[in-house]
Amino acid sequence: MAFDKKLIRNFSVIAHIDHGKSTLCDRILELTGAVSKRELKEQMLDSMDLERERGITIKLNAVTVSYAAKDGNTYIFNLIDTPGHVDFSYEVSRSLAACEGALLVVDATQGVQAQTLANVYLAIDNDLMIIPVINKIDLPSSDVARAKEEIESRIGLSCEDSCLVSAKTGEGVPDVLEKIVELIPAPEGEEDGPLQALIFDSYYDPYRGVVALIRIKNGSVKPGDKILLMQNGKTYEVTEVGIRNPKEVATKTLSCGEVGYLCATIKDIRDVFPGETITLANNPAAEPLPGYRKINPMVYCGIYPVDSRKYEDLKDALGKLILNDASLTYEPESSTALGFGFRVGFLGLLHIDVIQERLEREYDLDIILTAPSVQYEVDLTDGTTMRLENPSDLPELTKIKAIKEPFVAAEIMTPKEYVGPVMQLCQNRRGIYEDMIYFDDTRVILKYLLPLSEVIYNFFDTLKSATKGYASLDYELEAYHESALAKMDILLNGETVDTLSSIVYRQNAYDRGLRLVSRLRDIIPRQQFAVPVQAAINGKVIARADIKAVRKDVLAKCYGGDISRKKKLLEKQKEGKKRMKAVGSVEVPQEAFMSVLAIDDDK
Amino acid sequence: MRPRALYVHIPFCRVICRYCDFPKVLYAQNWAFSYVDALLDELSSLEGPYETIYVGGGTPTALPAALLEKVLFALREKLLPGGEFSIEANPDSLTNEILGVLIHSGVNRLSIGIQTSSEKWLKYLGRTHSFAAAKEAVERAKDWGLSNINVDLMYGFPGQTDEEFAKDIKSFLALDVPHISAYSLQIEEGTALYNEKAAVDDDRCASFYETMLKAFRQAGYDRYEVSNFAKPGHKCRHNLTYWHDEEYDAAGLGAAGYRDGLRFRNTRNLSAYLKGERRSEEEPVSKEDDIKYYFMTNLRLEEGFALSDFEKRFGFRFEERYAAAIQAATKEGLLSMRDGRAAPTDRGILLLDRLLLLLY
């Protein structure tokens, strides 16, 4: 039985961190009876601990609920969650493409926050109907008039149809549900047309294979159907379809306008990238849905176990993570300094953070990450070209004709008054100016070509601080261009530490080398003997700092009262040592390998 | 086994030194009276007798003579004949009246906080006496027949020069006392120096230490513990209890003790103590922790520990169980295994943390 699509509303919720998105979603689920209060785990859409702690949503989710509206009809609401970081903007755009509308939650005590804008613009790009929801009106410091004014002036949305709510107390939330019915358009599409279903997320289930979350744009799909994935050309037989309310409930079919899940014994999550279009093998659609982009890792770093005996454990853990994360890639590599490990590809730095924390927390591994690198192309004198993800693999100089690095086409939207600082930043980062567009009275879009390697080093954070948080950044890979690059090696106690090598822009090499060696001097604890830290290019030392030998570490006094405290301190140090890696005879803490990242070129 | 040592804390001071993080309060007469009552009450529950009693502070001699006498008389009852009875004092509180009380009560060891011979650095530390006054106090104590004296020396003040410290060494040796405790300045949270972000240079402290070690050894002092130097026959028996990791009783505000396998500390809150509150922290010592504590304390001693003592206490042989760590530590020149003893080398004493981490 296909549900009348006039009674379906598909929407997502956009909000700045802490503006109350999760609480509002909880209220909606509660009011629509999807979950009883008793069952309601706080903020149930964010299911991973990590997400809850960091206040960000990484993994998308979708929930189907029914709502008995005042007009006497019962509606189906599909609430589709989105993550909120530049690393994941493509996924956000695919989730939004599954919706007709969005709730924009704004905290009445704080007003519009700059970071929300990027997702609002994605929603506008996807032609969504946006309903402003002004939250936290129960707080004495709330200022509804100001929040409305900011929504109108900063985003350019009318607040005529906005809702005033307190997600915490539930006040105003029923009104939101009515507005969803009233304002968000019902899905369109041809029920009898050839199937077009948009995959906007997926996860791995050990029993059923990959579970794809889909939005049916046209046609319908049921178990037994032979489906074709239009981007990768593979076919499967559907084993199960259903909705999530939020528990999974199998249904007979999913039809045009509906949102649900689909299983088809798909083994590899890489077969169902977000944005992929499902159609029927025997009655295929003429073309796939627009907007698909193949997700490729943008940055790579080495991951090594601190204890080399844990290599297999790390391999297992990565194998499990990759089941649920189509954007992650890994392959074995080895380092003279760190032994056996993996070169892992990520979408961006936040993605690295998330994976690092999951490996440490969920898999209880002590790991070392090397500094992130982009993928370089190296033209060799023998006429061949190699791809380089690990700087230490760079061949010797005489064999290299040219090194090319990936550039991205970046669009930075910023309030007019910050154009100067933003241009300065892009220039510092070797940006090539392309265009400047006046978006409206207050905002400007700057277009630059930037080396990706410069973008991954703190660019986003620096951009945010240069614009008091108001700039937004979007970028996609443009092309590879030749640059004046060189490999900078780091020597500890005279020995090259391969995992500390990086590819640098020649003109910045001295400065970066100097910063890096002094940073390493500060991070690496003093050892039994003096350790020189050197930066070298082509075997020529360009910077040096010395770690002095420790001469004394004993506490002068140790009587009754001090001794328990002292023991705890020593135990803490012992723990810290476990997280260090002996490189030659030097004990190097974990963070040293990432220290390249912490160097701020813009100061 | 009953503890053989007792530590008693008197928290009162006439002035608060800028580096001190011991439990202490400014002297106030009404508190002092109630405190002595509460302390005597706590002492009455301790059976004794003890081979050593150590009265520390604060400044025990900040008490009026009559109150101090009350405390010391009560303690004297708990001391075994031939026992060591130490008390800490400041130069400016060592009046003839107080000295009389000390002698009269059987105190036989005096520890005087002097810290430096430089008027500039005395002021920096917040001390109120001059070095001349300190010298006088030492002489006066000797005149009274109290010649088993320790003086505290401190070094490593931010900006202290080699010349300044050389002068301190010379002046302290000239005091001609049988025991010197020499501590590098430690900046502890909650002190005035911490609040003004004073920083100690560990490298300079190491140099100072080496200079000092040489000078004191030449003058006939043995370094028997990291920071303690004594003429033959004058080691502090009480403090050796700590460094041998043996149990000891404790009484008074914030005092830390160790008995029946339990490390404990009294409350640091004066009004709570006056109301009869005692232990605020307790840590049962597991077998594993016991070994850690044993290393932490015994390896502070120049003579380290006898392998036979270790085996007797823990039931296994140190040299077997710790073979790998011993090898690493001897290779790094931190530990020496000789004459049936495990002992830190000169280098190992300065790098004791490193040595301990190898053994943990």
The partner residues of B223 in beta bridges, in order of sequence, read B229
Cross-chain CB nearest to A551 (options B202, B250, B256): B202
At A185, is the secondary structure helix, strand, or coil? coil
Cross-chain CB nearest to A570 (options B254, B256, B356): B356
- A-B CB pairs within 8 A amount to 95
Please, which pLDDT band fits residue A284 given cuts at 50, 70 and 90? very high
Question: Once rounded to an integer, what is the mean pLDDT over residues A276-281?
Answer: 95
Cross-chain CB nearest to B357 (options A551, A558, A573): A573
Q: Where on the phi/psi map is residue B313: left (φ > 0), alpha (ψ -120 to 50), or beta?
A: alpha
Task: Write down how long chain A is.
Answer: 603
The secondary structure element, H or E, covering residue A445 is strand A443-451
Contacts of A286 (CB under 8 A, 6+ apart): A194
**Res. A583: pLDDT tops 70:** yes
- Write the pLDDT tens digit of every residue in A426-449: 999 999 999 998 877 778 889 999
Give me the pLDDT at residue A86, please. 57
Chain A residues interacting with chain B (CB cutoff of 8 angstroms): 528, 548, 550-561, 563-564, 566-567, 570-571, 573-574, 577
Across the interface, whether the CB atoms of A573 and B292 are under 8 A apart is answered no
CA pair distance A499, A371, nearest whole angstrom: 8
- Least confidently predicted of A19-28, A230-239, B194-203: A19-28
Across the interface, whether the CB atoms of A577 and B357 are under 8 A apart is answered yes
Give me the pLDDT at residue A223, please. 97
Question: Once rounded to an integer, what is the mean pLDDT over residues B298-318?
Answer: 97
Across the interface, whether the CB atoms of A561 and B265 are under 8 A apart is answered yes
Q: Are A12 and A157 in contact (CB under 8 A)?
A: no
Across the interface, whether the CB atoms of A552 and B209 are under 8 A apart is answered yes
Contacts of A299 (CB under 8 A, 6+ apart): A345, A346, A347, A348, A349, A352, A372, A373, A374, A452, A456
**Res. B272: pLDDT tops 60:** yes
Query: Residue B52 is encoded by which pair of tokens?
Result: 């050593």
Under DSSP, the state recorded for A394 is P
Mutate to test the interface with A, among B240, B246, B354 (most CBs of A within 10 A): B354
Query: Residue B137 is encoded by which pair of tokens?
Result: 């106090």
Across the interface, whether the CB atoms of B283 and A564 are under 8 A apart is answered yes
CA dihedral for A20, A22, A25, A26, sign (positive or negative): negative
Among candidate residues B70, B56, B52, the one with its CA nearest the CA of residue B112:
B56
The partner residues of A240 in beta bridges, in order of sequence, read A263
Mutate to test the interface with A, among B351, B355, B358 (most CBs of A within 10 A): B351
Contacts of B281 in chain A (CB under 8 A): 564
The secondary structure element, H or E, covering residue B43 is helix B29-44
Please, which pLDDT band fits residue A220 given cuts at 50, 70 and 90? very high
Please, which pLDDT band fits residue A322 given cuts at 50, 70 and 90? confident
CA pair distance A277, A291, nearest whole angstrom: 10
At A5, is the secondary structure helix, strand, or coil? helix
CA pair distance A430, A450, nearest whole angstrom: 6
Across the interface, whether the CB atoms of B283 and A557 are under 8 A apart is answered no
Cross-chain CB nearest to B205 (options A552, A563, A573): A552
CA pair distance A165, A172, nearest whole angstrom: 4
Q: Are A47 and A81 in contact (CB under 8 A)?
A: no
Q: Where on the phi/psi map is residue B346: left (φ > 0), alpha (ψ -120 to 50), or beta?
A: alpha
The partner residues of A76 in beta bridges, in order of sequence, read A8, A66
Give me the pLDDT at residue A35, please. 55
Q: Greater confidence, A350 or A178?
A: A178
| Alpha-carbon distance B206 to nearest alpha carbon in chain A (angstroms) | 6
| Alpha-carbon distance B344 to nearest alpha carbon in chain A (angstroms) | 12
Q: Greater confidence, A527 or B276?
A: B276
Question: Once rounded to an integer, what is the mean pLDDT over residues A224-228?
Answer: 96
Among candidate residues A63, A61, A69, the one with its CA nearest the CA of residue A6:
A69
Contacts of B351 in chain A (CB under 8 A): 528, 550-554
Query: Residue B102 is encoded by which pair of tokens?
Result: 């000390």
**Res. B134: pLDDT tops 90:** yes
Among candidate residues A401, A407, A426, the one with its CA nearest the CA of residue A602:
A426
Q: Where are the alpha helices (DSSP H) in B85-149?
A: 96-105, 119-125, 131-143
What ipTM was estimated for this complex? 0.86
Mutate to test the interface with A, among B246, B353, B360 (most CBs of A within 10 A): B353
Under DSSP, the state recorded for A364 is -
Across the interface, whether the CB atoms of B263 and A564 are under 8 A apart is answered yes
Across the interface, whether the CB atoms of B206 and A556 are under 8 A apart is answered no
Q: Are B66 and B73 in contact (CB under 8 A)?
A: no
- Write the pLDDT tens digit of every residue in A88-101: 778 888 889 999 99
The secondary structure element, H or E, covering residue B358 is helix B352-359
Mutate to test the interface with B, among A554, A558, A562 (most CBs of B within 10 A): A554
Cross-chain CB nearest to B350 (options A552, A564, A573): A552
CA pair distance B280, B278, nearest whole angstrom: 6
Residue of B nearest to A566 (CA): B296
| Alpha-carbon distance A599 to nearest alpha carbon in chain B (angstroms) | 26
**Res. A543: pLDDT tops 70:** yes
Nearest 10 degrees: CA dihedral of A345, A346, A348, A353? -110
- Write the pLDDT tens digit of every residue in A57-97: 434 478 888 899 999 999 999 999 876 555 677 888 888 99
Mean residue pLDDT across chain A:
87
Q: Are A327 and A297 in contact (CB under 8 A)?
A: yes
Residue that is written with structure tokens 């010592």 in the block: B285
CA pair distance A130, A157, nearest whole angstrom: 8
Contacts of A577 in chain B (CB under 8 A): 357
The partner residues of A130 in beta bridges, in order of sequence, read A102
Contacts of B358 in chain A (CB under 8 A): none
Half-sphere exposure of A375 (CA within 13 A, CB side): 17
Question: Once rounded to an integer, what is the mean pLDDT over residues A246-254?
Answer: 88
Q: Please report, rounded to a whole number, the percentage of residues in chain A having pLDDT higher than 70.
A: 92
The secondary structure element, H or E, covering residue B193 is helix B192-195
- Least confidently predicted of A47-56, A79-88, A465-474, B206-215: A47-56
Mean residue pLDDT across chain B:
95
| Alpha-carbon distance A415 to nearest alpha carbon in chain B (angstroms) | 41
| Alpha-carbon distance A553 to nearest alpha carbon in chain B (angstroms) | 5
The beta strands (E) that lie in chain B are given as 5-10, 12-13, 25-26, 50-57, 79-89, 109-115, 149-155, 179-184, 222-225, 228-230, 249-251, 256-259, 262-266, 279-284, 305-306, 335-338, 341-344
Contacts of B124 (CB under 8 A, 6+ apart): B18, B157
CA distances in angstroms from B330 to A541, B244, B347, listed in the order given: 35, 22, 11
Q: Angle, nearest 10°, between helix axes B65-76 and B96-105?
A: 10
- Least confidently predicted of A321-330, A499-508, A556-565, A591-600: A591-600
| Alpha-carbon distance B96 to nearest alpha carbon in chain A (angstroms) | 30
| Alpha-carbon distance A575 to nearest alpha carbon in chain B (angstroms) | 10
CA distances in angstroms from B38 to A425, B9, B69, B258, listed in the order given: 68, 12, 15, 21
Across the interface, whether the CB atoms of B186 and A557 are under 8 A apart is answered yes
